[in-house]
Amino acid sequence: MTKTDEREKARTLRKQGKSVKEIAQEIGVAKSSVSTWVRDIELTKEQVEALGNRRPQFGDIHKGSKAVKAKYKELRLQYQKEGRQKARERDLLHSQGCMLYWGEGSKARDEVQLANSDPDLLRLFLKFLRESLQVPEEKIVMVIHCYLDNGLSSEEITEYWLKTLDLKPINIRKAIINLQPSSSQQKGRKLPYGTCHIRVYSTQHIQHIYGAIQEYAGIDKPEWLD
């Protein structure tokens, strides 16, 4: 049986209500592999109850997992409420930063991430992070995506962004260098310094932004909470 066959067999058994351990034993693969293959499959209430009857501790684990999810969802909701409260102050920089993120930012659940090639836009966003959200300097991460076919070295590009955005070497992560396809006829790139990705790994800050955006725009986005 190939890996693909094993994966499909595992998914079929999971949909039938089998536990990860039972599937692993039946197919003869590691539990970790089965867990990865079936993690997007939700069991029905009846299947959960059936597993609980076969293995009583499963019901306790499932309840514990639901309790943890509920706890962190409530925490995200609290952060959004704080963002809404801040939005009611009608601070200009705060509103600029939140609206900028709405248009340009990545809609992840647990991290702030905005990528752009415009240094002025990025400077404004960093000012928002530093002054409105009080993000510590050491929590700000910069990742550069660039080509090296414009007469500039990786070191020169990195130095440009550090100086332009007033960041330090501790903020930088290894640049992602893209190779121009050999089939391309393009003689150089319009973005010699590439794009800069600003990240803050923080559930609190991203959920604050989501709450503020909803308050400013007069909308509700429940999917940003899940």
Clarify whether residues 95 and 50 are in a common domain. Answer: no
| Cβ neighbourhood burial of 190 (10 Å; 0-12, 13-18, 19+) | exposed
User: Do 113 and 215 share a domain, yes or no?
Assistant: yes
Together in a domain, 200 and 118? yes
Between residues 189 and 105, the one the model is more confident about:
105
Q: Is the domain of 106 the same as that of 202?
A: yes
Whether residue 133 sits in one domain with residue 43: no
CA distance 33 to 79: 35
CB of 142 closer than 8 Å to CB of 175: no
The answer to whether the CB of 13 falls within 8 A of the CB of 26 is yes
Task: Tell me, yes or no, whether 209 and 112 share the same domain.
Answer: yes
pLDDT tens digits for range 145-171? 988 877 899 999 999 999 999 999 999
125 lies in the same domain as 216: yes
SS3 144: strand
Segments forming the whole domain that contains residue 21: 3-54
- Whether 81 maps to a domain, the answer reads no
Residue pair 44/174 in contact (Cβ under 8 Å)? The answer is: no
The predicted model scores a pTM of 0.68
- Using DSSP's 3-state secondary structure scheme, residue 181 falls into coil
The answer to whether position 76 is within a domain reads no
The reply to whether 77 falls in a domain is: no
Domain total in the chain: 2
CATH number of the domain that residue 212 is part of: 3.30.1330
Mark whether 43 and 99 lie in a shared domain.
Answer: no
Residue-wise pLDDT for 23-73, tens only, equals: 998 888 888 889 889 988 888 878 887 877 766 655 565 566 777 788 889
* Token reading at 145: 């995506």
13-39 burial: b if 16+ Cβ within 10 Å, else e:
bbeebbbbebbbeebebeeebbeebbe
Tell whether 115 is covered by a domain. Answer: yes
3 Cβ contact list (under 8 Å, min separation 6): none
Between vectors from CA 156 to CA 137 and to CA 136, what angle results, nearest 5°?
5
In a domain, residue 62? The reply is no
Whether residue 68 is contained in a domain is answered as no
Per-residue pLDDT at 39: 86
Helix (H, G, I), strand (E, B) or coil at 65: helix
Residues 34 and 97 in one domain: no
Same domain, 110 and 174: yes
| Within a domain: 146 | yes
Alpha helices by DSSP H, listed for 28-132, are: 31-38, 45-54, 56-87, 92-104, 119-127
| In-domain check, residue 73 | no
Let me know whether 102 and 195 are in one domain.
Answer: yes
Residue recorded with tokens 């509700």: 220
**What does the pLDDT average to over 78-102?**
97
Residues 200 and 99 in one domain: yes
Residue 179 has what pLDDT? 59
> Is 177 a residue whose pLDDT tops 90?
no
